[in-house]
Amino acid sequence: MDPPDSWDRYTVHSRDADLQCYRTGTGPSILLAHAWSDSSLRWVPLVEDLAEDYEIVAYDARGHGRSDAPKTGYGLDDRIADLKAVLRDFELDDPILLGHSMGAATVARAAARHQNLAWGVVLEDPVGVHAIPEDDPDERVESVREQIEEMSDLSIQEIIEAEYRDFKPDQAQRLATASLNLRPEAAEIARNGYPSALADVFSDIACQTLILRHDADIERRVMDLNVADSLPDGRLVHIPDAGHYVFQDEYDAAYAELQTYLRRM
């Protein structure tokens, strides 16, 4: 699938990879970082609304979408370097960084490591908040690689039926296409892409932070809220009835929280 006509395309070089990037809109800058097995196109509905008031830049992570897939370079340092390269090339000063899942983890760790990098941080259901996998890294990588290779044998419609049947048709098409474009090299992210529980770095994120979390039972909500207390300037909101794709599942509620956050910035 192609991006909307209003999205301008760019290429940013970072370390050993060329990254596909998109830009649209005018105003204060928001940088978007997508989830594992997704691409920038998953942001289409949100970007169309935000671009009325903001400059939006999105990029395909290495091994995803239309970006390069080098054999190595999928650790946390590489992902942060990629994000910083996009910020540098687009000359984005004091941006808001918004990421989903894997992208949210990258954004959070980048902001914690480089405290002057962002004006604000928004995390859509970040991965690995409380814990990291304890299984063997080699086995983890091989399992993910096998899943990617099995996915490559399916049609887009078969992927939709297996993974995205409850999504809106256009969004399901975008996500299934992104899954089909995921390269086996990206499985290396599973080796050391999440070195510790994400909550461990929350106290180092100096800018105003919003976490949009999937719905959960009371026990899990309390756990989430307790770790969010370590944010110097932030809040965590559970979106009722939302799953991992918070903006997909409950767009109006999630967008209202985002707009409230943006107006207060």
Cα–Cα distance measured from residue 220 to residue 252, given in angstroms and rounded to the nearest whole number = 23
Q: What is the pLDDT of residue 136?
A: 86
Q: What pairing do the DSSP bridges indicate for beta strands 234-238 and 29-33? A: unpaired
Cα–Cα distance measured from residue 122 to residue 160, given in angstroms and rounded to the nearest whole number = 28
User: Which pLDDT tens digits describe the chain residue by residue (265 residues)?
Assistant: 789 999 999 999 999 999 999 999 999 999 999 999 999 999 999 999 999 999 999 999 999 999 999 999 999 999 999 999 999 999 998 999 999 999 999 999 999 999 999 999 999 999 999 977 677 888 999 999 999 999 999 999 999 999 999 898 999 999 999 999 999 999 999 887 787 899 999 999 999 999 999 999 999 999 999 999 999 999 999 999 999 999 999 999 999 999 999 999 8
Do 40 and 8 meet the contact criterion of CB atoms below 8 Å apart? no
Q: Where are the domains of the chain?
A: 8-133+194-264
Q: What is the pLDDT of residue 129?
A: 95
Cα–Cα distance measured from residue 211 to residue 107, given in angstroms and rounded to the nearest whole number = 12
Q: What is the pLDDT of residue 137?
A: 85
Q: Which residues of 152-184 are buried (b: 16+ CB within 10 A; e: fewer)?
A: eebebeebbeebbeebeeebbbbbbbbbbbbbb
Q: What is the pLDDT of residue 82?
A: 99
Do 47 and 97 meet the contact criterion of CB atoms below 8 Å apart? no
Dihedral Cα 112, 118, 123, 128, nearest 10 deg: -20
Token readout for 220 is 């899990």
Do 101 and 35 meet the contact criterion of CB atoms below 8 Å apart? yes
Q: What is the pLDDT of residue 133?
A: 67
Q: What is the pLDDT of residue 148?
A: 95
User: What strands, in cross-sheet order, belong to the sheet with 208-213?
Assistant: 8-14, 17-24, 55-59, 29-33, 96-100, 120-124, 208-213, 234-238
Q: What pairing do the DSSP bridges indicate for beta strands 120-124 and 234-238? A: unpaired
CATH superfamily of 8-133+194-264: Alpha/Beta hydrolase fold, catalytic domain (3.40.50.1820)
